[in-house]
Structure 1
Amino acid sequence: MSKTVEKLKNLLSLGENQTIKYIESDELKYCGPQVCAFLNTKGGYLLCGIDDKGQIKGIANATQVGEQLESQLKSSIKPPVLFSVELQEVENKQLLIIEVPAGKDIPYAFNSDIYTLIDEQVQKADIDTIRDMVMRKQIEPTRWERLFSSELNEQDLSVSACKKLLSAKRIPKEILQSEQGLLHQLQLLSLAKYGRLTNAADVLLASSPGKRHPQARVRAVCYRHKADDEYQDLQHFDGPMFTVIEQIITFIMRNTPLRAHFRTGNNQREELPMYPEQAVREAIVNAFAHRDYSNFSGGVKVEISPVQLKIWNSGAFPQGIDELKIEQGHISVLRNPDIAHILYLKGYMEKLGRGSVVIQEACKNAGLPSPKWHSDNMSGVTLTLFATEVTTEVTTEVTTEVTTEVIKMIDLMSQEHSRDELMKLMGLKNAEHFRKHYLKPALGITPALVEMTIPEKPTSSLQKYRLTPLGLQVRQQLNDKKNK
């Protein structure tokens, strides 16, 4: 089983120190108690379609089964809570992955029974365990998102935002079928209680939540120069969360340059946004889902400069989470589960604990440096995405730092080449001379101009070399100079 565990961890980007359980069945009666137990303890992943020997059996009709199972779980587990069900293909077989964060509103019950984990095994909770859960809940302060929003009434909500939410595909049928009005529907979504709207409803759906919660406004600025001494664009956003998220993403994509991209084996140049929209979207949504809304001097800020994109939100990482665990894709400890639940229902959140992995993979695929997270109790959490150095100014700086030998090699590279092919292109016969004066300097410069096709096996007989996005940009500028 251990080999299967490690293989699936790597394949599914589940990270280290995760609680992972396997069952062969996709039936509600087997999945429900496990999900409930995860919610009442520390969260975890339930993989359906693997037998007790670690053999991958798969799930037949996985798409339909997954949708049905998710709906059944959400109807059977109380109080309402956020978890996700997704499909993943492994060895040409479909698995269902149920990702469950630690619950904030324990005790949770599945079909009126409360389950917990004891020695990693699912068991019905005894009376002492249930009493302990209830007592712990009573002494915990009410979350900011659950407090009533002062002076907010139904007329202050955005009609279009409410319609967009209730038209989302993931909204449970019992909410859509409710005939008791909007306030009752929002109560079923934990956005209202006793006929009053909560702070979560305010920041999610109100036309102007900043009137009551100034910290809900978002500041976005784009600086013109590296020194950050003047800006070319500055905006403040206030409105329903879905609208603001889209406005911020548009702001970022509008104020970042395009980068050149060449497909492998194709000299056709493409112009793509500097930062992949998938990474930008995931980063912005995470900032809204995980920020500390109770901090009245906090909020969300976006800063764009020629060399990086910074997204900051108030509130440090939850206890037990650090930069390393975030990079590994540690399962979420949700600060605002009600807000996160709505973002999930609307389709903004998918992989609850692996948003960081999605961001890293998107940056890697785009040829960008690895993103960095920084957190402390005083300044909150900052995510930095780094640009590739593709502007004329930076490319000139790069070309002056490398030797004429490296420039010659870059100028001749048009696709993936083996070492022998490169030497032949340049008319060289001395392999050691080529390695020392051409290949090694090209691979060693930062940022890199040339990269290996098999970096994990540098001495492989199948090894080839290709230009990085920056190397392609340098070569393009060299060609432009020739043609002038």
Structure 2
Amino acid sequence: MQQPIATNDVILFSTLRENQYFDRKSARKDDKEIAKHISAFANSAGGKLVIGIEDNGEVTGFKRNGARDIEKFERAALTTCTPTPIVRKDRIPVVNSSGEEDFVLVLDIDASTNHSVARVSDGEVFLRQDDKSVRLSREQVFALEYDKGQRIFEDELVEDSSLDDVDHEVLDRYKGILGTEVSDEQVLRSRRFMRDGKLTVAGALLFALDPSAMMPQARVRVLRYDGVKMETGERLNITKERSFCGPLPKVIQDAYELISSMLREFQFLGPDGKFQTVPEYPEFAWFEGLVNAVTHRDYSFRGDYIRVSMFDDRWEIISPGALPNIVTLDNMRTTRYSRNPRIARTLVEFGWVRELNEGVKRIYTEMQNSLLNDPVYTEPDGARVQLTLENNIVARTVRRSEALEDKVSPEVIASLGEYELAAVRLAFANGRVTARELAAHIGRNRRTASRVLGKLIEEDGLLEWHGSSHNDPKQFYTIR
């Protein structure tokens, strides 16, 4: 059952930046122009197309001079696309910019998961790339047709699965994001994560308590090595190892926290003659690499799992499965194609897949801004994709090599609340933390930040306060 869209969502549709999953168009466009965007969304990962709002956000609806009949747009997928994509339609009552009662039309377009691509009436094929619908060449269409067969896997049913396998904490978070209170089963069915009482592959990966019990390849393994290469036998040099096997939103969160705690900081002499402290890698670069691997790996490839390897001089992440055929090592900075569109779109809703219009391009930018070598993407054996980030250890000196867990036990870390953990991490990463810095970091006021820091001193004994008085503007906190 499709949930109704609240009227105040029109404000969001008017201001939201157009991206991989969202576009808005004037009702003066003809249905063939709209069909182009329907085709692009269906051939990519799906998305929302809102009609009746101008590119500048003005709500003009369907009563403006030159506007076409709303029924034509509602039938556009049926009359101008072959095969017909699955499109859900909602008319939202609005007051347009002329003060009249009117409507805007929301077309919610599903990703096409069969072997056929969605063509418009003249035979052209479009694909969503960032915030544009791009026409494909004949060769690109052939590659897309070949690759679309892989998409079926995320919609396959997992035998012997049921609602009993669901992690209801994660599903409750998702229901909160959707703004619905319907039953768990109804949400899963309406979002196509469950059929006939069984979870689909995408449903299990996103919401099952332990997807690896159904698909052993569904896990992420993080390893830290002492040195610049992997040793074996008596010289085994693994200093930290952990596997994550839960639902993907939790896997991303837990892996992020572990990797953050293990990353080092470096010092180098700046142009002003003073030492500056920088992180081992820019956070966006390594985190985007992790999220991309979890989101886009080939889950039908059963012989391997995602592996993050941290060496003294580099960070590697290996994602099973080759690049989707329309994406190559040469065009991956500008070309987007999701092998798992339901997983990708859901992780966007959770907030993990971020910066939709930047992605791989921003990894390059962040590494360059940190004066590091460009990231290196390779396909070592044609069956997996590897991302390598180098940390330039030769040009920088190690400030410290210990992880947060060397200062604070894992049991204590696990007992901390969200804001408390943020405070401890800031104090560890920067050597100190102030109430102002913590308030900005967690998005709360300074009083809340001071209360969190006070608890970490008095109840947990993790921090020490430094200052001449509690009115001292230079007061700060450090790890005890």
Question: Where on the TM-score scale, by shorter chain, does this alignment land: which range?
Answer: 0.5 to 0.7
Question: Paired residue for 1:325?
Answer: 331
CA–CA separation in structure 2 for the residues paired with 1:382 and 1:316: 10
Question: Paired residue for 2:288?
Answer: 282
Question: Paired residue for 2:156?
Answer: 147
CA–CA separation in structure 2 for the residues paired with 1:80 and 1:240: 28
- Asked if the contact 1:253/1:273 (under 8 Å) is kept, the reply is no
Amino acid corresponding to residue 387 of structure 2 in structure 1: L
CA–CA separation in structure 2 for the residues paired with 1:300 and 1:268: 40
Larger Rg: 1
TM-score where L is the length of structure 1: 0.55
Q: 1:292 aligns with which of 298, 309, 327?
A: 298
Report 1:263-282 matches (<5 A): 270-282=276-288
Q: 1:214 aligns with which of 207, 213, 216?
A: 216
Question: Paired residue for 1:467?
Answer: none
Amino acid corresponding to residue 296 of structure 1 in structure 2: R
Deviation, 1:29, is 7.3
Q: 1:348 aligns with which of 346, 352, 355?
A: 352
Question: Paired residue for 2:397?
Answer: 392
Question: Paired residue for 1:242?
Answer: 249
- Asked if the contact 1:144/1:199 (under 8 Å) is kept, the reply is yes
Report 1:33-112 matches (<5 A): 33-39=35-41, 59-60=56-57, 79=86, 103-105=112-114
1:340-390 CA-to-partner distances (Å, cap 9, x unmatched) read 121111122245574211211221222221001112564400011111224
Q: What value does the CA root-mean-square deviation take over the aligned residues?
A: 4.6
Amino acid corresponding to residue 319 of structure 1 in structure 2: N
Cα distance change, pair 141–217 in 1 and its aligned pair in 2 (3 A) = closer
SS at match of 1:286: helix
SS at match of 2:266: strand
Amino acid corresponding to residue 334 of structure 1 in structure 2: S
Report 1:149-164 matches (<5 A): 149-164=158-173
Amino acid corresponding to residue 172 of structure 2 in structure 1: K
Deviation, 1:200, is 1.1
CA–CA separation in structure 2 for the residues paired with 1:24 and 1:239: 40
CA–CA separation in structure 2 for the residues paired with 1:309 and 1:262: 24
Q: 2:362 aligns with which of 358, 370, 391?
A: 358
Deviation, 1:255, is 2.0
Cα distance change, pair 26–141 in 1 and its aligned pair in 2 (3 A) = same
CA–CA separation in structure 2 for the residues paired with 1:254 and 1:117: 55
TM-score where L is the length of structure 2: 0.55
Deviation, 1:314, is 0.5
Question: Paired residue for 2:420?
Answer: none
Tell which deviates more after alignment, 24-33 or 304-313.
24-33
Q: 1:256 aligns with which of 222, 240, 263?
A: 263
CA–CA separation in structure 1 for the residues paired with 2:49 and 2:371: 32
1:66-122 CA-to-partner distances (Å, cap 9, x unmatched) read xxxxxxx99x986379xxxxxxxxxxxxxxxxxx9984358799xxxx845646899
Tell which deviates more after alignment, 270-279 or 146-155.
270-279
Q: Give percent identity, aligned residues only.
A: 21
- Asked if the contact 1:191/1:201 (under 8 Å) is kept, the reply is yes
Cα distance change, pair 118–284 in 1 and its aligned pair in 2 (3 A) = same
Q: 1:380 aligns with which of 384, 395, 417?
A: 384
SS at match of 1:214: coil
SS at match of 1:287: helix
CA–CA separation in structure 1 for the residues paired with 2:245 and 2:256: 14
Question: Paired residue for 1:202?
Answer: 204
1:224-244 CA-to-partner distances (Å, cap 9, x unmatched) read 111332121111111111111
Question: Paired residue for 1:165?
Answer: 174
Deviation, 1:39, is 3.6
In structure 2, the gaps of 5 or more residues are 1-16, 60-72, 78-84, 89-108, 128-144, 232-236, 400-480
